[in-house]
Amino acid sequence: MFKLLIALSALVVISSAYGPAVRATKGEVWPKLQQEEKTSDYFIVRPFTFRFQGLADIGCPRLLDDAFTRYWLIIATEASLEHRGRRAEMGKKRTKFWQLDESFLGYLKRLKVEVSDKCTDDALPDFGDNENYTLTVNASVSTLSAQTIWGALRGLETFSQLIYLEQDALVINATTITDFPRFSFRGLHLDTSRHFLPVNIILQTLDGMAYNKFNVFHWHLTDDQSFPYKSRVYPELSEKGAYHPVSKVFEPSDIAKVIEYARVRGIRVIPEFDTPGHTSSWGASHPELLTTCYSNNQPNGNLGPMDPSKDTTYDFINNLFTEVVGVFPDSYFHIGGDEVDFSCWQSNPDITTFMSDNNISSYEGLENYFIQHVVDLLDKLNSKYLVWEEVFVNGVTLPNTTLVHVWRGEGFDTLRDVTKAGKYGVFSSCWYLDHLSSGSDWQKFYECEPLNFDGTDEQKKLVLGGEACMWTESVNEYNVMPRVWPRACATAEKLWSAESVNDFGAARPRLEEHVCRLNLRGIAAQPPNGPGVCL
Ligand SMILES: *[C@@H]1O[C@H](CO)[C@@H](O)[C@H](O)[C@H]1NC(C)=O
Ligand SMILES: *[C@@H]1O[C@H](CO)[C@@H](O)[C@H](O)[C@H]1NC(C)=O
Ligand SMILES: *[C@@H]1O[C@H](CO)[C@@H](O)[C@H](O)[C@H]1NC(C)=O
Ligand SMILES: *[C@@H]1O[C@H](CO)[C@@H](O)[C@H](O)[C@H]1NC(C)=O
Ligand SMILES: *[C@@H]1O[C@H](CO)[C@@H](O)[C@H](O)[C@H]1NC(C)=O
């Protein structure tokens, strides 16, 4: 008993100070801005007289109006808290705090939004988009300027975060901002196979992504445990391979909804259909795709990775991936390729014969043979691809347009090798959201610098960014939001803000504010810093 007490008290850091562990900032932006000059002069925002104004000839009025509506609602919702407070005071007359204040510059009436590139309402975010913007809050009619609509969306997010509640009003300090992302690829990965996640949760996740300036949603659609994607050419894949053929599948209309919801927020959707491993669920309807495993020269009843020796395997993948490339408009496709278990291939005599017939001397070589077929197919379909790092490490021949997704170990040696070979890297090793520890465990995500590897400047330029990964073995729709948020916010800041923004202590008060902001906007983010309160 005594021992147990000692063990417990070692785990629990007892703080007895009155009040929250970390006091929230007011009107600070997450992820941190590249350049900002803020003064203590301020404007008051009154939602019912404030409006956004797009310049007439932008060319994508609907995209812009949708964004204006979203952000106006966010601002008005924050203002409604003020009304609740006021009602509680039952009409007590008080002087408004700003009326006698020299720092008060007036009421913010309009935010003018300028986009210099031509934009259309069906524009798709794509790799390498310019997301730069400038925002000047200096007059009752202030200005947000960007080259692209995507930059304007990032700027609107920033604008909404600058506004904070002070006593009974919404305040925005006079500010001059020039902002741009450090990395162009800022992703969140979500696994919807280990546990099915309903569409409304995916949409909430996209909201959270927009609030953190993420721009890639990596949708890990299928895995061993279930196949929830409802295919038009092979509907039996989800009929047999989903957890439930009706309630645990993504219909074409669901997929379209996710893609559109993401698009208008400037977020790309990259689907992943992992092969040749992680494919047991495909075998529920098409066991012939998978390798028969042997023990003592007899089939042992188990199925392994896809069977790379049969042409029919490639015909099947061909038909399915042709459909998928048509469904997902992004120019990239994640083809997986991780954790292929070679032992089943090794046990199967037909595979052994196939290898000697084709002069393939290793299982890496066999994997290469498989991936080469998939890659050739995607080349034909004009789609580019990401692969998990094993595909590169095992020596598969890949074009330089391939993005190699680094995830194992610390990852730095692999990033070095990938970029040395002239390939692009996307980094996830230190951002696995399924790795839990107690307390403010976003610290470990925050204190990870993706370019912390040995390489030339040229090599470092090939690191396009990274992804926070949410594998869902122990996560379903009831706990996914607090597990992702605010922990993925740490990744978001590493990927957007300057390299010098790396002080955990300095970030804590801003994240304290940001989590309250996320909560207010309906995101079930968990507390970031220990004891505290959102007011
Ligand atoms: C914003 O303005 C308020 C009110 O004048 C001031 O107290 C605060 O310090 C200002 N914030 C910054 C970061 O300058
Ligand atoms: C965005 O701004 C940064 C900093 O000024 C600049 O280095 C970068 O080239 C800009 N990006 C584009 C696409 O113009
Ligand atoms: C506010 O900033 C904009 C953009 O920098 C500038 O054109 C304008 O003159 C400024 N207005 C005032 C009142 O300072
Ligand atoms: C088989 O591969 C080896 C080593 O790569 C090579 O030297 C040999 O010429 C190949 N044989 C045939 C028949 O392709
Ligand atoms: C790919 O990158 C490597 C290393 O920088 C380079 O040697 C090679 O020529 C590139 N290949 C192509 C097809 O551009």
Q: Is the pLDDT of residue 86 over 70?
A: no
Domains and their CATH numbers in the chain:
21-89+97-179 (3.30.379.10)
Task: Give the residue, 57 or 445, on which the prediction is more confident.
Answer: 445
Q: Is the pLDDT of residue 25 over 70?
A: yes
Torsion, Cα 379 118 255 480, to 10 degrees, reads 110
The position carrying tokens 């070679």 is 342
CA distances from 104 to 51, 138, 450 (A): 20, 12, 42
> Cβ neighbours of residue 357 under 8 Å, at least 6 residues apart?
none
Provide the pLDDT confidence category of residue 79 given band limits of 50, 70 and 90: confident
Q: DSSP label at 250?
A: B
- For residue range 488-502, list pLDDT tens digits in order: 999 999 999 999 999
| pLDDT given at position 85 | 54
| pLDDT given at position 7 | 41
Report residue 154 CA to chain centroid gap: 15
Atom 14 of ligand 2, residue of closest alpha carbon: 130
| pLDDT given at position 55 | 82
- For residue range 133-146, list pLDDT tens digits in order: 999 999 999 999 99
- For residue range 253-273, list pLDDT tens digits in order: 999 999 999 999 999 999 999
Q: Is the pLDDT of residue 340 over 60?
A: yes
| pLDDT given at position 82 | 63
pLDDT > 90: percent of the chain: 89
Torsion, Cα 386 184 517 79, to 10 degrees, reads -130
Please classify residue 380 by burial: count the beta carbons closer than 10 Å to its beta carbon, then call 0-12 exposed, 13-18 middle and 19+ buried.
Answer: exposed
First to last CA, the chain: 41
CA distances from 22 to 17, 19, 445, 488, 512 (A): 11, 9, 19, 19, 7
Atom 10 of ligand 2, residue of closest alpha carbon: 132
- For residue range 106-120, list pLDDT tens digits in order: 999 999 999 999 999
- For residue range 293-316, list pLDDT tens digits in order: 999 999 999 999 999 999 999 999
Report which bound ligand comes closest to the CA of 355. Answer: 4
The number of the ligand 2 atom at minimal distance from the alpha carbon of 34 is 4
Q: Among all residues, which ones are annotated catalytic? A: 339
Please state, in angstroms and rounded to a whole number, the distance separating the CA atoms of residues 158 and 70: 13
The Å distance, Cα 439 to ligand 3 centre, comes to 45
Q: What is the mean pLDDT of the chain?
A: 94
| Ranges 1-10, 351-360, 505-514: which has the least confidence | 1-10
Please state, in angstroms and rounded to a whole number, the distance separating the CA atoms of residues 330 and 260: 12
The number of the ligand 1 atom at minimal distance from the alpha carbon of 103 is 5
Radius of gyration, CA atoms only, the chain: 26
Please state, in angstroms and rounded to a whole number, the distance separating the CA atoms of residues 61 and 201: 28
Q: Is the pLDDT of residue 195 over 80?
A: yes
Provide the pLDDT confidence category of residue 411 given band limits of 50, 70 and 90: very high
> Residues near ligand 5 with C-beta < 6 Å?
400, 422
| pLDDT given at position 94 | 66
Provide the pLDDT confidence category of residue 4 given band limits of 50, 70 and 90: very low
